[in-house]
Amino acid sequence: MRITKNVLRRRPRFIGAYATATAGTTQTQAGATALTGSINFVTTGNANDGVLLPANYARGDMVTIVNSSGAALNVYPRTGGAINNGSANAAKALAANMTGLYISLGSENWAAVLSA
């Protein structure tokens, strides 16, 4: 099977730069640390600390999160958004020492591809 160049109507892109972050310790969407880069190296202090995906990303834009900790990390969409068609505002866990690629679907909704 041949793969064509235009699989997506718009070429995906990473916005921003590399950033490091320490996840928020409140374990809620409101207390999660907002991510600022397109590639984010995150450490956690406790299991289920959280980060918040960027706001207003265009459809097809991507964010990578590297969870460098020995504890799971909660990744939250912005208010009203969802990850992998889950419940609005619900976190999607990123396991310890794993990486996730988050692709914007627009309107603060995201698709997540998580390493196993």
Name, in order, each residue with C-beta under 8 angstroms of 46's C-beta and a sequence gap of 6 or more.
25, 27, 71
CATH of the domain at 75: 2.60.120
Q: What is the pLDDT of residue 79?
A: 96
- Examine residue 92 and state whether it is found in any structural domain, yes or no: yes
**Pick from 61, 60, 25, 64: nearest CA to 41:** 64
- Examine residue 2 and state whether it is found in any structural domain, yes or no: no
Model confidence at 4: pLDDT above 60 = no
Residue 91: band (very low, low, confident or very high) from pLDDT cuts 50, 70, 90? very high
- Examine residue 1 and state whether it is found in any structural domain, yes or no: no
Give the lowest-confidence range in 43-52, 60-69, 76-85.
43-52
- Examine residue 71 and state whether it is found in any structural domain, yes or no: yes
Q: What is the pLDDT of residue 10?
A: 53
Residue ranges making up the domain that contains 110: 13-114
- Examine residue 5 and state whether it is found in any structural domain, yes or no: no
Report how far residue 37's alpha carbon sits from residue 105's, in angstroms, rounded to the nearest whole number: 18
| Backbone torsion region of residue 43, taken as left when φ is above 0, otherwise alpha when ψ lies between -120 and 50, otherwise beta | beta
